Amino acid sequence: MKKIKFAQIGFGPIGQQIVKFALERQNLELVAVVDLDKEKLGRDAGEILNTGKLGITVKENLEEVLKLDFDIAVISTLSSFKDVFPTVKQCVQSSKNVISTCEEMLYPFVNDQQLAEELDKIAKKNNVTVLGTGINPGFLMDFLPIILTTPQKRTDKVIVKRHQDASKRRLPFQKKIGAGLSIEEFKRKVKEGTIRHVGFKESVHLIAKALSFEIDQYKETVDPVVADKEVKSEYITVKKGMAKGVHQTAIGFKNGEELIKLELKAFLGNPSEEDTVELYGEPDITSTIKGGVNGDIGTASVVINTMPNLIKSEAGLKSVIDIPPAHFWR
């Protein structure tokens, strides 16, 4: 395999994990790292990772980096498609393929069709491929259930459950699920849209598209999981009566009937960790990953394992069902 050259844009916890894993692959080459954090700028990326010097310093100027020769820009910055759009557009206009961990980029046509169509046209014009993916969304709660329907004669209903002990996750994730907040503050932030797992709507509609389900109603709920005793993580101490995480559901309906249901229970100290897909039809199928899949490891791995098929795919803004399935490679 020809070496794939990539630039990492966004060098937070996920960006750093991606680079660490990439260093273990003989056919991957890191060309540049971009971040806006003043404490990282000018430092060798390897020193930040504690892997030894790599000879690549963290830069702020994306335009300068895009002049370099590489195949893929990996963007691990924001969750909102509108917010990440300018960065993606800049990379695409420089004829760089893009993989982004932006949750709403899994299927951006749901929330902003006009912007998605614009990006698709720019990507085709510059003959590059753009993809949003990760562990969730991107695999566990959308692509995996889609693939598991393959041996079914008929699929009538899809239920996906992801139960996680959030104390094992990075601090930004623990904050995103509201761990350590009072119940009042949790509910306020839910109304503001800052406490929730981003990407459920995109996952539901991607499943519906793949399985030719017609969804005429979408409903999402976000509730706190209340601590019945003090619980701690490496970063947060949650006192009794405070939120220790989130219970979130997303449901796609047709004529009042549930066709797709996603459920996330992510909280500190969750004793039951597993990822389960339940498919109802002919035959019924249930698949459970005991212990669940680590989200941070999974996201970085999905990004890296998707790279070879991304650069072989047709130009345009794609979803994970539009390109060949990824798998481990060296």
How many other CB atoms sit within 10 Å of the CB of residue 330? 8
Q: What is the C-alpha to C-alpha distance for residues 187 and 330, in angstroms, rounded to an integer?
A: 45
**Tokens encoding 175:** 């904050």
Cβ atoms of 72 and 101 within 8 Å: the answer is: no
> What number is the average pLDDT over the span 225-231?
96
Cβ atoms of 177 and 190 within 8 Å: the answer is: no
Residue 9, pLDDT score: 98
pLDDT above 90 for 42: yes
Angle at alpha carbon of residue 319, lines to 313 and 323, rounded to 5°: 30
What is the CATH number that goes with domain 143-292?
A: 3.30.360
Percent of the chain residues topping a pLDDT of 70: 100
Residue 173, pLDDT score: 87
| Residues contacting 191, CB < 8 A, separation 6+ | none
Q: Where is average pLDDT lowest: 12-21, 90-99, 192-201, 305-314?
A: 192-201
pLDDT, tens digit (0-9, with 9 covering 90-100), for 112-135: 999 999 999 999 999 999 999 999
* Residue 197 CA: distances (Å) to CA of 24, 79, 248: 30, 10, 8
User: What is the residue-averaged pLDDT of the chain?
Assistant: 96
- Residue 147's Cβ-count burial label (10 Å; 0-12, 13-18, 19+) is middle
pLDDT above 80 for 142: yes
pLDDT above 80 for 1: no
Domain limits, the chain = 4-133+297-318, 143-292
pLDDT above 80 for 300: yes
pLDDT above 90 for 257: yes
For domain 4-133+297-318, the CATH architecture is: 3-Layer(aba) Sandwich (3.40)
Q: What is the C-alpha to C-alpha distance for residues 93 and 282, in angstroms, rounded to an integer?
A: 46
| Residues contacting 121, CB < 8 A, separation 6+ | none
Residue 181, pLDDT score: 96
Residue 215, pLDDT score: 96
> What number is the average pLDDT over the span 140-148?
98
Q: What is the C-alpha to C-alpha distance for residues 144 and 296, in angstroms, rounded to an integer?
A: 17
Cβ atoms of 273 and 253 within 8 Å: the answer is: no
Residues β-bridged to residue 8: 33, 74
> What number is the average pLDDT over the span 243-255?
97
Residue 280, pLDDT score: 98
pTM of the complete model: 0.94
Cβ atoms of 92 and 119 within 8 Å: the answer is: yes
> What number is the average pLDDT over the span 14-38?
97
pLDDT, tens digit (0-9, with 9 covering 90-100), for 48-70: 999 999 999 999 999 999 999 99
**Tokens encoding 131:** 């993809």
pLDDT, tens digit (0-9, with 9 covering 90-100), for 158-183: 999 999 999 988 888 899 899 999 99
pLDDT above 90 for 10: yes
Q: What is the C-alpha to C-alpha distance for residues 272 and 68, in angstroms, rounded to an integer?
A: 47
